[in-house]
Amino acid sequence: MKLDIIPVKWTDEGVAMLDQRLLPGEEKWLMLRTYNDVADGIKDMVVRGAPAIGVSAAYGVALGAKQFVGTTVEDLGEEIEYICEVLAATRPTAVNLFWAIERMKETFLLAKSEGRTVSEIKQILAAEAKSIHDEDIESQRLIAQYGGGLLEDNSSVLTHCNAGALATGGVWGTALGVIRGAVEQGKNIAVIADETRPYLQGARLTAWELHKDDIPVTLITDNMSGHLMKKGRVQAVVVGSDRIAANGDVANKIGTYMVAVLAKRHNIPFYVAAPLSTIDKNCPTGDDIPIEERNTREITHVRDIQLAPDGIGVSNYAFDVTPNELVTAIITEKGVARAPYTESLRKQFDL
């Protein structure tokens, strides 16, 4: 049975976030009472996943506006501009962050042009953030519907990282939404989840979600997927994305590129599931996507346990880019796009 997992919520007290750093051992909710708290929550990965980051940023703007104590619309505009700068500086790769911030800015400018008061604009921004959240959940439902139709009955699906309800506004997810969609359609689907070093989103989060939904899941190490493909135990790969270039190159969690190469080698379809807000029309190719580098401690330590010797060089890229020629299809809320992606993705925006 599909559970309604909602990782971020708007409340009268502030923005509530399920602390994903503690899962699966502890399900703890944090109440973030300022926009700076929301920015820290995004940066510190209390919440993660491109759609969820976008929703959180929208709520951060709305929360900052709500707490504005000035009296003029002009001063509110300056405050919102600063709030957006703080939120935009949190994580560079997930384009949904910048998409949501721009949408909130445009909402403010429209309200200002209509002569709205400060009080009215605060309410309008809160309503817009909630609309972004609601639209994200509806997009997931459609992705689940379209993507679920691509998976065969009695198949085993490999996924990398966590692109489930936890990585979005909640309920379905993107990659896991495709899997949930297939299950809703009556198909027998089992999942193989890469652990996804170094942050272990597959082991901690994907396995947790699927287990709660009673969807069979087998956890493997990141370096085991090629072996299972060779043995015929993988019939499809489904992943999410943090940014998709206009030509269909896909930025996703580090290790995705290797999985795509292996899938191509073994003639296994490689599907990417993401809302249109993840597609960056202004980014021509994957070479133009900024790749976040994170604290090297994430690699040298697991929580407080040190795994590597002091004094060595460490590289911690959080994402890699999969070239479009390795992508079988990109599933959005508007349908299934296939190569050539420059044309098919543009058509989805124009529908």
CA dihedral 321, 227, 220, 195 (to 10 degrees): -20
Q: CB neighbours of 102 closer than 8 A, spacing ≥ 6? A: none
Cβ pair 184, 153 in contact under 8 A: no
Residue matched to tokens 């976030």: 17
Catalytic residue numbers, as ranges: 242
What are the residues facing 159 on neighbouring strands?
193
Find out whether 184 and 144 touch, Cβ atoms under 8 Å. yes
